[in-house]
């Protein structure tokens, strides 16, 4: 009897665009993005966190001329990021939670650095990527070989990964002794969360040399130099250390070309002990319905830099995992509407 397919359950309903208003919201969406990025660039939301402010007060604290700042504030109020009452401005609830520097849910640097300065400009090359005639840059590996670009990307991704990393650590509930190979691990945020949850977990973060240089600083701050090793390497071209209990790939497969996905899945199987776990955390589409839109758009943006990148649902990824000798479980949501986790074993789980 064949194995039952692994699916991610029913997808949501996407309402079709039916009028000019809906089209306008889509076409003008980039303007709202730029308003958000501009506000983050002058740290506007942090300034508003201290209390309601008037336009003259904000102009004085930001150094932006009042007439120009007023135009930005009108746009931010129009898209719901700030609220205004009798000439006094304040943060909307989501802005207060996620756009104030140092807040527990702070995503400001992630949006300001990675999305605004790398992803957004790269999307200008989407037409060429779609046609297969060009790309924003030669490869992600090439971009991240530059120390400045690597730092910008890694610092931003670290900010965006802290919450999901803690959630994944709770979901996996690894119990030591357990070795984790974090492939394309960036700053090491996921490895630090796994180690913080159980003292018997030890991790190796494998990433490009310039990225590892940034990860070294975060490892020091996390106080985990004795439990997290750093391995500068290209995941597609360089060897991986063997004998691992767990291989973690977070946001890795979506950033690779189609053939490269097969390379890293084969390497993951080869470096795992019998019964080891492969943990894939990535953008995942619904199996039986359009969307979710955020995940679908993230897949789309990769075409601007990696024309042979592919998108996948839980079911299509599960089939690919089975082809490399893994037994995938049902996908579990990590970041709603954006990412899911698929845990696969080679034989019997050793760390659970």
Element (H, E) at 250: strand 244-250
What topology does CATH give the domain 22-99?
Answer: Arc Repressor Mutant, subunit A (1.10.10)
Ordered by start, the domain boundaries in the chain are: 22-99, 110-345
User: How confident is the model over 180-188, as a mean pLDDT?
Assistant: 97
User: How confident is the model over 271-283, as a mean pLDDT?
Assistant: 96
Identify the weakest region by mean pLDDT among 82-96, 138-152, 185-199, 271-285. Answer: 138-152
Residue 4 confidence class, pLDDT cut points 50, 70, 90: very low
Q: What is the pLDDT of residues 44-74, one digit of tens each?
A: 999 999 999 999 999 999 999 999 999 999 9
Percentage of residues in the chain having pLDDT higher than 90: 84
Query: Strand 201-207 vs strand 228-232: parallel, antiparallel, or unpaired?
Result: parallel
Tokens 């490269």 correspond to what residue?
A: 260
Element (H, E) at 83: strand 82-85
Cα(15)–Cα(304) distance, rounded to whole angstroms? Answer: 27
Identify the sign of the CA torsion 144, 149, 153, 158.
positive
Q: What is the pLDDT of residue 136?
A: 74
Query: Checking phi first, is residue 186 left (phi over 0); if not, alpha (psi -120 to 50) or beta?
Result: left
Domain 110-345: CATH architecture, name and number where available: 3-Layer(aba) Sandwich (3.40)
CA 316 to chain centre: 21
Average pLDDT taken over every residue of the chain: 92
Cα(82)–Cα(187) distance, rounded to whole angstroms? Answer: 32
User: Does the pTM exceed 0.85?
Assistant: yes
Residues 278 and 327 sit within 8 Å (Cβ to Cβ): no
Q: What is the pLDDT of residues 93-108, one digit of tens each?
A: 999 999 999 999 999 9
Closest by Cα among 284, 279, 280 to 336: 284
């Amino acid at each position: 009897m064949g194995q039952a397919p692994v699916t991610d359950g029913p997808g949501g309903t996407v309402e079709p665009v039916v009028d000019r208003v809906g089209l306008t919201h889509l076409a003008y969406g980039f303007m709202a993005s730029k308003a958000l990025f501009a506000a983050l660039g002058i740290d506007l939301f942090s300034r508003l966190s201290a209390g309601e402010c008037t336009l003259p007060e904000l102009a004085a604290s930001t150094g932006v001329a009042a007439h120009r700042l007023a135009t930005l504030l009108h746009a931010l109020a129009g898209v719901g990021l700030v609220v205004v009452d009798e000439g006094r401005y304040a943060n909307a609830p989501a802005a207060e939670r996620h756009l104030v520097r140092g807040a527990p849910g702070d995503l400001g640097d992630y949006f300001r650095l990675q999305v605004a300065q790398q992803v957004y400009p790269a999307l200008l090359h989407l037409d060429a990527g779609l046609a297969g005639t060009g790309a924003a840059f030669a490869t992600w590996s090439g971009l991240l070989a530059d120390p400045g670009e690597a730092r910008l990307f890694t610092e931003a991704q670290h900010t965006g990964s802290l919450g999901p990393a803690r959630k994944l650590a709770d979901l996996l509930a690894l119990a030591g002794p357990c070795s984790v190979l974090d492939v394309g691990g960036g700053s090491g945020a996921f490895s630090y969360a796994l180690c913080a949850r159980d003292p018997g977990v030890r991790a190796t973060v494998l990433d490009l040399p310039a990225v590892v240089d940034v990860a070294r600083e975060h490892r020091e701050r996390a106080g985990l130099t004795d439990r997290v090793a750093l391995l500068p390497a290209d995941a597609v071209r360089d060897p991986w250390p063997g004998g691992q209990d767990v291989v973690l790939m977070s946001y890795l497969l979506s950033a690779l070309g189609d053939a490269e996905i097969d390379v890293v899945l084969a390497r993951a199987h080869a470096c795992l002990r019998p019964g080891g776990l492969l943990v894939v955390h990535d953008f995942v589409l619904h199996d039986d319905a359009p969307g979710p839109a955020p995940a679908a758009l993230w897949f789309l943006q990769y075409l601007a830099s990696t024309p042979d990148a592919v998108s996948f649902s839980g079911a299509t990824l599960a089939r690919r995992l089975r082809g490399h000798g893994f037994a995938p479980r049902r996908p579990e949501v990590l970041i709603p509407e954006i990412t899911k986790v698929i845990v696969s074993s080679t034989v019997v789980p050793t760390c659970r």
